[in-house]
Amino acid sequence: MSDDTTDSNGEVELEARLAEQEEFEPPESFVEQANVSDESIYEEFEEDWPDCWERAADLLDWDEEYDTVLDDSDAPFYEWFSDGTLNASYNCIDRHVEAGRKNQAAIRWEGELEETRTYTYQDLYREVNEFAVALRDLGVEEDDVVTLYMPMVPELPIAMLACARIGAPHSVVFAGFSADALATRMNSADSEFLITCDGYYRRGDALNHKQKADEGLRDVDHEVQTVIVDRLGDELTHFLGDDAYDYDDLVDAQQGERVDPVERDAEDMLFLMYTSGTTGEPKGVKHTTGGYLSYVAWTSHAVLDVKPEDTYWCAADIGWITGHSYIVYGPLALGTTTTMYEGTPDYPDKDRLWEIVEKYAVDTLYTAPTAIRAFMKWGEKYPERHDLSSLRLLGTVGEPINPRAWKWYYKHIGSENCPVVDTWWQTETGGMMITTLPGVNTMKPGSAGPPLPGVDARVVDAEGDEVEAGEAGYLTVNRPWPGMLRTLYRNDDRFVQEYWTEYSDEDSDEWVYFPEDGAKIDDDDYITVLGRVDDVLNVSGHRLGTMEIESAIVGVPGVAEAAVVGGDHEVKGEAVYAYVITEDGYEESEELRQKIVEGVEDAIGPIARPEEVIFTPELPKTRSGKIMRRLLEDIANENDLGDTSTLRNPGVVDDIQAKVQSD
């Protein structure tokens, strides 16, 4: 037998063993060095709740110490550490410089075209100060909302920290969102300042981003001052219009200038982040300075096991909450080196991520299941080209990960040497809520794990009673936590309505947070999150409201009605399926299909582009006239439809089914 055959037999055996294995223990070598390795932490948090959260707050430097850990007098408008004061920029930068770590790398940035930039903590200190002074000069005052519409360039976290330094909340709008989406968010927040960029690279092409920003600004109903980062130089020339400034000019003009970090109350807003909900209008999730920063620092410490000397990499985009919490605020609060990558994982080739891991000797990699599914599809030959032995810990976030993808990640990226943390959380929760602690718990692929210490997450039935182990139900969070959203910006009613009415008992002042996810729980209290139970889709880990997509589609001339659902997709998890009824006088055509796709791209962005547009003369409706979305989902997934006789128009189902199958 040749060596080759032995190897491949060994490989087959290993695959077979992994396929059957349901539980994995963290490697001893990891446990020995873990920030948290004692399981007594669960009990300690339980016995000492809510004061246990002082441990999170202790990871920060406070200007004014707090006395009150939790103020629940106005629930569900909870306050955390409310009589303390601090500054997030000071905590993420100055204190590390003061501790003699000015030369440590804070940000390692890798451009798509393989350019690199490193900012030490001293570099970050200098540039954040200079830009903060520049912002003040432009007229930005404490509590003014500054909108950042930027791709993955270092100036994005710098601008966030400059805003934090002067107490101006930022509202980051994902660069892949459309001009319309930008305008809606700026109008909603009355934001009078925009920081954006001329363009960026995608798969080697220079994209014009400023044009989108300019288009968006035309729909903003108030005056805006704009700062433009010149990312592309001569590749794309741009002109500064009125009320527009060049980032480098502003920073150069403030060379050496400093601004004292503004002392913020713990409950002052650190940032606003718009996210999708059930209605067409995005929700402005408000996060605060003390509770949020404590919570992301604590979870980065306990779950991501971040150490100051690490090179840590969360391969998300800062335009989403994952990037806010675990590229910028968590890692920098702990004084580690955080990695930023501008581009896509398959450019110039499908080993780009592994090349970066090797190049920077990355210790921890945190990414999304959709990326892992793509890596699996591309095959292990890509990671095998690189030395990934620097990795100590792997993480995933954003959607459920199926056991096969988990095991592939564990084996082919982690060489069976790294724990994998599957972390469940949301824009609203600020940070991780349900996950194993990598130095403590057994891992069960497919199941996120138990709630974190101090977090009370349950799985309940429609009445709010806990379900038996193994049964599906709804996820709830039955106690507040420091990283929680405080409200929806300027919409307290919607905040209470969306999250706190389903399972709370207002009369007895019992407040239960409803994340709108389905879940199962096992005998060990491990929770498997099944996905959204509202009309929100999860496409490649991106959260999209079906209503937002539907309203974009019905805005296209020729469309009378539309229903959007998620269909299963091998890599994206879910894909957008749009069922469309045309107006009288219009017929199904390739041209109309194209207009629909463009309509969605214009209203939201390419991430929401429909995978399938299915023209149909009718939509299946109940007798009361409600569209049966579940049925449309089943049709998209070619599932058995069961009994459809209760529909008002059962005949339509066969027609639609035939269409989907023929497409």
Q: How far is the CB of 474 from ligand WTA (least distance, A)?
A: 12
Q: How far is the CB of 423 from ligand WTA (least distance, A)?
A: 5
Closer of 81 and 425 to ligand WTA (Cβ): 425
Q: How far is the CB of 454 from ligand WTA (least distance, A)?
A: 19
| 213, containing H or E segment | helix 210-218
Q: How far is the CB of 114 from ligand WTA (least distance, A)?
A: 29
Q: How far is the CB of 368 from ligand WTA (least distance, A)?
A: 9
Task: Name all contacts of 62-69 with Cβ < 8 Å and 24+ positions apart.
Answer: 62/86, 62/290, 63/87, 63/263, 64/263, 66/266, 66/290
Q: Which residues contribute to the site for ligand WTA (CB under 6 A)?
A: 275, 320-322, 397-400, 422-427, 448, 515, 517, 529, 531-532, 538, 543
Strand 244-246 versus strand 225-229 pairing type:
parallel
Closer of 122 and 426 to ligand WTA (Cβ): 426
Q: Look up residue 32 and give its two tokens.
A: 């020995």
Closer of 209 and 324 to ligand WTA (Cβ): 324
Non-local CB neighbours of 172 within 8 Å, separated by 6+ positions: 147, 148, 149, 150, 156, 160, 271, 273, 318, 319, 324
Closer of 300 and 427 to ligand WTA (Cβ): 427
- Residue 146 CA to residue 192 CA, distance in Å, equals 7
577: number of Cβ within 10 Å: 25
Q: How far is the CB of 524 from ligand WTA (least distance, A)?
A: 17
Q: How far is the CB of 440 from ligand WTA (least distance, A)?
A: 18
Closer of 78 and 499 to ligand WTA (Cβ): 499
- Residue 71 CA to residue 50 CA, distance in Å, equals 10
Q: DSSP assignment of 612-646, as one string?
A: EEEE-S---B-TTS-B-HHHHHHHHTT------TT
Q: Are 285 and 272 in contact (CB under 8 A)?
A: yes
Q: Look up residue 288 and give its two tokens.
A: 């605060």
Q: How far is the CB of 574 from ligand WTA (least distance, A)?
A: 10
Helix, strand, coil shares of the chain, percent, nearest 5, are 35, 25, 45
Residue 653 φ/ψ, nearest 5 degrees: -60, -45
- Would you call 283 exposed, middle or buried from its count of C-beta atoms within 10 A (0-12, 13-18, 19+)? buried
Closer of 50 and 330 to ligand WTA (Cβ): 330
Closer of 322 and 504 to ligand WTA (Cβ): 322
Of the candidates 47, 49, 78, 79, the residue with the CA atom closest to the CA atom of residue 66: 79
Helix-then-strand count for the chain, H and E: 23, 30
Closer of 192 and 399 to ligand WTA (Cβ): 399
Closer of 436 and 551 to ligand WTA (Cβ): 436
Q: Look up residue 290 and give its two tokens.
A: 């003390």
Closer of 241 and 606 to ligand WTA (Cβ): 606
Q: How far is the CB of 270 from ligand WTA (least distance, A)?
A: 17
Q: Across the chain, which distance is largest between two alpha carbons, in Å?
A: 76
Residue in the shown chain whose Cβ atom is closest to ligand WTA? 427
Q: How far is the CB of 176 from ligand WTA (least distance, A)?
A: 14
